[in-house]
Amino acid sequence: MKKTFFAAILLTSAAAAFAQPPADHNTFTIVKKVDHTSVKDQAHTGTCWSFSTTSLVESQAMLAKAGVFDLSEMFTVRNIYTDKARNYILRQGKAQFSSGGLGNDVINAMARYGAVPENVYSGLLLGKKQHDHRQLDVRLKSYLDSLLKYRPVPANWMEGFQSILDDHLGKAPEKFTYNEKVYTPQTFASEVLKFKKDDYVFITSFTHHPFYAPFILEIPDNYGSESYYNIPLNDMMSLVELAIQKGYSVMWDADVSNANFKQADGFALNWNDGKKVSRPIDPDAEEGAYDQQVRQQLFETLVTQDDHLMHLVGLEKTPAGKKFFLVKNSWGEEGPFKGYINVSEAYFAINTISLVVPKAALDNTLRAKLGLK
């Protein structure tokens, strides 16, 4: 998807970083833009969860003055494949095994396995320049299903699983050199990135569980049964806006399979059902109403689903004062805004499934309600 900040009122640096929008689009004012790394391309993989949350971690490293990093998404993907495989075997195939995932997977994997730079482990072999996991996903799943036909399952089954990962992604490094010092992935994450799992919280907003308490989010890709803090919709919207204002970015998990998510046009708006949308898109066009009840109904009827994860990196306004979130996607520099998309508050409110938010972005009132230190 794409998103370039609308030029006329942009700072010179922003204008240089993003392509000019079409002349018939309204000009946006950037209220706040969080430092972040460049747009990547997940290509033919289902690994948006790793790209989006890795981008969040990179932004946090920049904010903490730890440095500017290009981290390996595929190192984390490999580790999560391994965790999912073990879970799948122990649950005798009655569990999710796919390329999909959630933001918490990245945070948990970095805490357990560490992280490495992209140039240490790209996951690309034989000169390939684009990720393609279609064959890999089929091989991994077929291998696991073949194991489950036997009792006992071979004790060394993980060796075969790792061999398939090696064939497609390359062997994972146990040690590597960075700035003339040798690190393991774990020491790199803790000493160089200054990464801490407790620096992040997982947030959602649904009424079928109590507010201000954690619950296990019931979506297929939550294979690890991770708990998310449940807060009212208004609190969630305020949290995201205040986080951006304070200089923190947010990992956004959302439904993008509906007709209102228009990557090719660079906008996601909650248009009224049945209303014909003119082109070019008017960002100030009237949108459908949203509230907690509408959001809940769409989730429980499986209309709103966990489709795609992205990195929310800015807040902007139209000349009329309408707010949009600036979202960095992982589909390469596609669309009119070079990999970014403008997401209205209404679209965000209705279609959000979950968030990963730096804990420091939460104000004291919300922290107290959630019991966080």
- CB crowding 232-248: b at 16 or more within 10 Å, else e: ebebbbebbbebbeebb
Q: Are 313 and 327 in contact (CB under 8 A)?
A: yes
Strand partners for 328: 311, 340
CA distance 21 to 240: 25
Query: H helices within 246-370, ranges in order?
Result: 292-300, 345-351, 364-370
Residues noted as catalytic: 48, 308, 329
Q: How many angstroms separate the CA atoms of 305 and 258, rounded?
A: 10
* Residues 6+ away with beta carbon under 8 Å from 361: 239, 242, 243, 246, 248, 250
C-alpha 54/C-alpha 103 separation (Å) is: 9
CA distance 240 to 338: 23
For residue 354, the Cα-to-chain-centroid distance in whole angstroms is: 9
DSSP-based three-state secondary structure for 56: helix
Q: Give the whole-angstrom CA distance, residue 253 versus residue 50.
A: 12
